[in-house]
């Protein structure tokens, strides 16, 4: 599962890192706790030179109502036991909600880090996971456009693809990991002419030794909390459900705060 991530907005960094144009108009704000229903910047295969603001939680175009599918399993219905040594077929290409998107509606989801917790405690014991070699990276994502038949409102939505655990998520007791793309593979992921077999070959766990894992505040559990304090490491030996000690000695430069509308229960996402 990858239900929360960090997106620190620095347009100049995005332009240089991903080779995109500066977006016209106003920018969305930094969000230190991107949750289902929030908007974040993505780069799509049909517009690879643009930053676009899409909503986290994919709703297929054929859906009768919003579905908020925040994650798409690379294995589809296979590997139900989340065996980290699984080497079989990536069945996502056969899932009704994702089979069109994986072929023609792929995107890069820009991120600085993501949150994860043990399988049992989940975000009651959160960890921040980031790359130790890059400040900004991308998840492999898929997107779709949904139109509300009643209001005519158009929603562009996305989902982060997950695969089996890598060493970092396994270390904290979580059975899944988001697909983090190597920089050299990002253009291939966006190439809509790439054969589906080669697309599916990109859906693999990211090397755990390139990731840094740190315990953070339980406040991340509430999707309304967006403060930059959420990414400050804490002493996990002193953490309880009701008493969180936060280390204030970490200097954070150039980081703002984000805003979002309150979540509804259905905006918590559905995992596939």
Q: Report the CATH superfamily, name and number, of domain 4-268.
A: SOS response associated peptidase-like (3.90.1680.10)
Indicate the domain borders of the chain: 4-268
Percent of the chain with pLDDT over 70: 87
pTM for the full model? 0.87
250: pLDDT confidence band, cut at 50, 70 and 90?
A: very low
Residue 235 pLDDT? 84
Give the pLDDT band (50/70/90) at residue 1: confident
26 exposure class (CB count in 10 Å sphere: 0-12, 13-18, 19+)? exposed
* Predicted confidence (pLDDT) per residue in 8-35, tens digit: 999 999 999 999 999 888 899 999 999 9
Q: What is the largest CA-CA distance in the chain?
A: 52
pLDDT of residue 249: 28
CA angle 36, 144, 91 (to 5 degrees): 90
CB 115 within 8 A of CB 4: yes
Tens digit of pLDDT for each residue in 50-68? 999 999 999 999 999 999 9
pLDDT of residue 66: 94
Spatial contact of 82 and 165, defined as CB atoms under 8 Å apart: yes
Reported as a single tens digit per residue, the pLDDT across 125-169 is 999 999 999 999 999 999 999 999 999 999 999 999 999 999 999
256 has a pLDDT exceeding 80: no
- Residue 30: what pLDDT? 98
Looking at residue 243, its pLDDT comes to 31
């Amino acid at each position: 599962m990858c239900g929360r991530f960090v997106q620190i907005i620095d347009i100049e960094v995005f332009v240089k890192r991903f080779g995109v144009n500066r977006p016209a108009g106003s920018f969305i704000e930094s969000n230190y706790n991107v949750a289902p229903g929030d908007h974040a910047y993505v780069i799509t295969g049909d517009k690879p030179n643009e930053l676009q603001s899409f909503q986290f939680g994919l709703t297929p175009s054929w859906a009768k109502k919003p579905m908020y599918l925040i994650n798409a399993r690379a294995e589809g219905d296979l590997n139900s036991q989340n065996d980290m040594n699984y080497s079989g077929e990536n069945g996502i290409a056969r899932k009704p909600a994702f089979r069109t998107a994986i072929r023609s509606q792929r995107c890069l989801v820009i991120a600085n880090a993501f949150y994860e917790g043990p399988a049992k405690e989940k975000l009651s014991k959160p960890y921040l996971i980031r790359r130790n070699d890059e400040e900004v990276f991308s998840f492999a994502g898929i997107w779709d456009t949904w139109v509300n038949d009643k209001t005519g409102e158009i929603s562009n939505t996305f989902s982060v693809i997950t695969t089996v655990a890598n060493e970092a998520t396994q270390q904290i007791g979580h059975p899944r990991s988001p697909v983090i793309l190597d920089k050299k593979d990002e253009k291939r992921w966006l190439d809509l002419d790439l054969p589906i077999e080669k697309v599916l070959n990109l859906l693999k766990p990211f090397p755990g030794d390139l990731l840094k894992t740190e315990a953070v505040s339980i406040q991340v559990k509430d999707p309304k909390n967006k403060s930059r304090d959420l990414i400050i490491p804490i002493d996990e030996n002193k953490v309880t459900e009701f008493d969180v000690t936060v280390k204030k000695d970490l200097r954070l430069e150039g980081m703002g705060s984000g805003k979002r509308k309150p979540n509804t229960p259905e905006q918590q996402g559905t995992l596939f």
